[in-house]
């Protein structure tokens, strides 16, 4: 059984829960009150900064020139293209660049990014991929499921669905899934157990990220 076959049994129930979450369901229907989504956009900007650090660790831990090159391209694209696009997208909702830069990570965002960066910094290349994959895979699944329901009238939400259901993001997801399959094929049973646990933790954080936005989670003290 390939990694993606094995890990889909871990991820599918979590992605089902994400798609059934009221925030995601209402986003897909175009009926979501904007305040939780504005929170999500600001927190996602903070998340992307540390997500870029994971790509940087991918560069340093890659064992082949091809992998190194791809991670270098992802790092460059995230920092110099995706974050610009994110700033432009946020501006459509009235969020300024200064507001994005001033955003502090929520407890969930802090926990999620700490987990990703710590795994990338202290684990193996396989650990990094196992922790990285759920974000891409889960967002692609969510975007494609929402797209199947039809494009919502809310243009901002429709753009979000278009991006994560789109061909470019789907290709990136498939690349990461193939990479996990390659690593899995040469791994020991103990390593596979570790990858499975890292994957599950990361996927759970994805769910928590949505739920934190829905609740507009903050620090209590």
Alpha carbons 218 and 42: distance in angstroms, whole number: 13
Hey, what are 87's tokens? 């700033």
Q: What is the pLDDT of residues 81-131, one digit of tens each?
A: 788 888 999 999 999 999 999 999 999 999 999 999 999 999 998 999 999
Alpha carbons 202 and 204: distance in angstroms, whole number: 5
Q: What is the pLDDT of residues 72-82, one digit of tens each?
A: 888 888 888 78
Which of 6-10, 118-122, 169-173, 199-203 shows the lowest per-residue confidence on average (mean pLDDT)?
Answer: 169-173
Q: Which domain does 159 fall in, by range?
A: 3-215
Structural domains of the chain, count? 1
Where residue 34 sits, what CATH number does that domain have? 1.20.910.10
Q: What is the pLDDT of residues 57-67, one digit of tens each?
A: 888 887 788 78
Alpha carbons 25 and 40: distance in angstroms, whole number: 15
- The residue whose two tokens read 């009150």 is 33
Alpha carbons 118 and 191: distance in angstroms, whole number: 17
**Is residue 152 in a domain?**
yes
- Of the candidates 15, 33, 4, 41, the one whose C-alpha atom is nearest the C-alpha of residue 159 is 41
**Is residue 221 in a domain?**
no
Do the Cβ atoms of 28 and 20 come closer than 8 Å? no
């Amino acid at each position: 059984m390939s990694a993606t076959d094995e890990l889909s049994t871990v991820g599918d129930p979590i992605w089902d829960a994400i798609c059934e979450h009221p925030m995601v369901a209402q986003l897909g229907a175009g009926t979501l009150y904007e305040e939780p989504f504005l929170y999500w956009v600001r927190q996602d900007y903070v998340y992307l900064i540390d997500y870029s650090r994971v790509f940087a660790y991918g560069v340093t831990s890659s064992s082949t020139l091809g992998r190194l090159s791809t991670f270098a391209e992802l790092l460059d694209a995230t920092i110099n293209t995706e974050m610009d696009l994110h700033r432009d997208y946020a501006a459509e909702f009235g969020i300024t660049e200064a507001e994005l830069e001033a955003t502090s990570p929520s407890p969930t965002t802090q926990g999620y990014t700490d987990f990703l960066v710590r795994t990338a910094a202290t684990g193996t290349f396989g650990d990094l991929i196992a922790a990285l994959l759920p974000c891409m895979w889960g967002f692609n699944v969510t975007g494609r499921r929402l797209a199947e329901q039809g494009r919502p009238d809310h243009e901002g939400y429709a753009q979000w669905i278009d991006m994560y259901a789109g061909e470019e993001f789907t290709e990136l997801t498939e690349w990461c899934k193939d990479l996990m399959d390659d690593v899995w094929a040469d791994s020991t049973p103990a390593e596979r157990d570790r990858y499975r646990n890292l994957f599950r933790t990361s996927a759970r954080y994805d769910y928590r990220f949505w739920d934190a936005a829905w609740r507009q989670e903050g620090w209590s003290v």
